[in-house]
Amino acid sequence: MEQKLKFITCSGANEFTNITDLVSLSEKFPMIEWGIQVSGKKCGQGSARLAWIQRLHHCLRTDNQKLQMALHINADWVDGFTAGELPTELISLLRLKNIKNAPFFGRVQLNFKLGRDKAPYPSILVDHMRAYGDDRRFIFSFNEENKEFIHFLYRKGLRDFDVLYDSSHGEGLSAHEWLAPAFFDYGVLQGYAGGLSPDNVMEKVVGIRSVVPYNRSFYIDAEGRLKGDDKHLSLVKCEQYVVNALKAMSKI
């Protein structure tokens, strides 16, 4: 088994993203995972975001397409998932299926941060993960605030999750150093974020590879520096980011 970049996540796809162009880029680079940010404010009933996701899902089903998709749950919706009730709109998104009858969103990132959001109830969190975890993975943000909680869940037997190292908490700040994997379990996919851009991703991926064991898979995630002048995701920048990330995988 060799070191492998399993996903190259481009976060921030939304109602301003052209669906045809998004699909075309995925056909060219199947390892792209599209991260879609959702919350009650951004994706509630009647919102443009929810309508766009439904249209994307319909287009992919109609054209017999299967893309790598991730749902990034924020704010009130992540509170509901980890410590309360799930809103109807979120349940409907989690129940979407792709053409293979697997979850449309193959991974779900829970963007809670202890000390900022409502503290998760472990039993409720695990129950919801099991209820909506059929053939999908959940992602935890692994940082100083959350790491002890995540280790606690692991010690209690939870295994169906991935972790994302981002000490800037989604602010797009570059990491001072890349962390070696915190879990020896090869079943826990571990990813890296923080200040990645089309211009620096080659250098950054080389640095990440130096701390990841030679026989482990990992992934990378970028959003802020993939935006264009209109402040929305630029597919041109996404392509540059992917091309340069792949180049970095041939450097060691």
pLDDT recorded at residue 171:
47
pLDDT recorded at residue 174:
57
CA separation for the pair 10, 166 (Å, rounded): 15
pLDDT recorded at residue 134:
84
Taking only Cα atoms into account, the Rg of the chain, rounded to an integer number of angstroms, comes to 17
pLDDT recorded at residue 220:
97
Tens digit of each residue's pLDDT (9 = 90 or more) over 174-220: 566 788 999 999 999 999 999 999 999 999 999 999 999 999 999 99
pLDDT recorded at residue 113:
87
pLDDT recorded at residue 191:
97
What is the architecture of the domain spanning 4-74+87-111+134-141+158-248?
Alpha-Beta Barrel (3.20)
The full set of domain ranges for the chain reads: 4-74+87-111+134-141+158-248
pLDDT below 70 — which residues of the chain? 1, 167-176, 252
Sign of the Cα torsion 184, 188, 189, 190 reads negative
